Amino acid sequence: MNSTSLNQFIQLFTLDDAAATQRVSERLALVLRNPEMYAERFAEELEERGIVAPLPPQELRDIALIDALLSEDLAWESDWNDTAPTIAEGLNEILAQQKRAARLKPTTLAGRREPGPEQLDTVHDALEKLGLALVLFTLDSDSYPLGIVAEEQVEQVRALAGELGFEVVVY
């Protein structure tokens, strides 16, 4: 595991918050270095997700990434039936935590009528106008864990995630 790459990856989400970067990096370094120890240390959190049996390393890494960012309010889990305005409100919490000036205007996001993953396209379009990109963290679930990065960092997010073994979709 390349700790420099890990820190660079985490900083794309934590920005200038050195303390959050350190906490998230330490947690992810553990899951990358020793998945069994991670599962033992965070057994209670995993159990809250309904995970009581050992997971394949890839799934555990992805859940660790999501939970680490959630613990710092740098990710938000959208339910499958959320509408674009609801998703925007959740993403605004991330933007506030990242101390970004940009905010989404939930009342102006008229997504498709039916809730579901198509709502992510509507939110992505709104973020793109602000120079930001939507990150979907993979999770075999009916929820959509989401993060936000600067649009100019999209390729860097993809490259570092691939190098570190995390599965993400960056819109």
pLDDT digit string (tens) for 123-145? 999 999 999 999 999 877 778 99
Q: Which pTM was predicted? A: 0.92
- Token pair of 59 as six digits: 């799934």
Stated as kind and residue range, the H or E segment containing 170 is: strand 168-170
Q: Could you read off the pLDDT of 9-25 as tens digits, one per residue?
A: 999 999 999 999 999 99
Q: Per-residue pLDDT tens for 68-117?
A: 999 999 999 998 888 889 999 999 999 999 999 999 998 888 765 666 67
Per-residue pLDDT, 161? 94
The pLDDT value recorded for residue 83 is 87
Q: What local confidence, expressed as pLDDT, does residue 37 receive?
A: 96
Q: Model confidence over 146-167: pLDDT tens digits?
A: 999 999 999 999 999 999 988 8
Question: Following CA atoms 92, 97, 102, 105 in sequence, which dihedral angle do they give, to the nearest 10 degrees?
Answer: 10
- Kind of pairing, strands 143-150 and 76-79? antiparallel
Query: Among residues 51, 94, 155, which one has the least CA distance to residue 62?
Result: 51
12 φ/ψ angles, rounded to the nearest 5 degrees: -65, -25
pLDDT recorded at residue 111: 61
How many CA atoms does the CB half-sphere of 163 hold within 13 Å? Answer: 15
- In whole angstroms, give the CA distance from residue 8 to residue 107: 34
| Confidence band for 46, pLDDT divided at 50, 70 and 90 | very high
pLDDT at 119 over 80: yes
Under DSSP, the state recorded for 171 is -
Cα angle for residues 61, 42, 24 (degrees, 5° grid): 60
Instruction: Give pLDDT, residue 157.
Output: 97
Average pLDDT, the chain: 91
